[in-house]
């Protein structure tokens, strides 16, 4: 078998892992943004309720 066979095998495994890692990173970033947004909206609601009183 040609050395290209091994190169492409590692290439395939690398791509599979990169997709998994990239997806996990995207989930982590979204989690961070969602938490920030949730805190911001909660503060907005609290401020709105205080103004109403």
Partner 1 sequence: MRLKIIVTLTAVAGLILAWNLYRIFLQVPDEANQGAIFRIIYFHVPAAITSFTGFYIAMFSAIGYLVTKDLRFDSIAASVNEVSLALASITLCTGSIWGRIIWGIWWTWDPRLTSFFVCWLIYVGYFMLRRAIDDPTARARLSAVLSIFACVDIVLVWKSIEWFRTQHPGPVLEIRGGGGMAPGMEAPLWWNFLALLMLATALILIRTRQETMKLEIDALRRHAHAF
Contact between 25 and partner 1 (CB under 8 A)? no
Calpha distance 24→53 (Å, rounded): 44
- Dmax (CA) for the chain in angstroms is 79
What is the closest distance, in whole angstroms, from the C-beta atom of residue 50 to partner 1 in the complex?
10
Q: What angle do CA 25, 26, 28 make, to 5 degrees?
A: 65
Contact between 53 and partner 1 (CB under 8 A)? no
Contact between 49 and partner 1 (CB under 8 A)? yes
Contact between 42 and partner 1 (CB under 8 A)? yes
Contact between 29 and partner 1 (CB under 8 A)? no
């Amino acid at each position: 078998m040609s050395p290209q066979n091994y190169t492409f095998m590692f290439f395939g495994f690398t791509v599979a892992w990169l997709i998994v890692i990239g997806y996990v990173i995207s989930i982590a970033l979204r989690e961070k943004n969602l938490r920030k947004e949730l805190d911001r909206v909660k503060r907005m609601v609290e401020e709105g309720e205080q103004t109403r009183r």
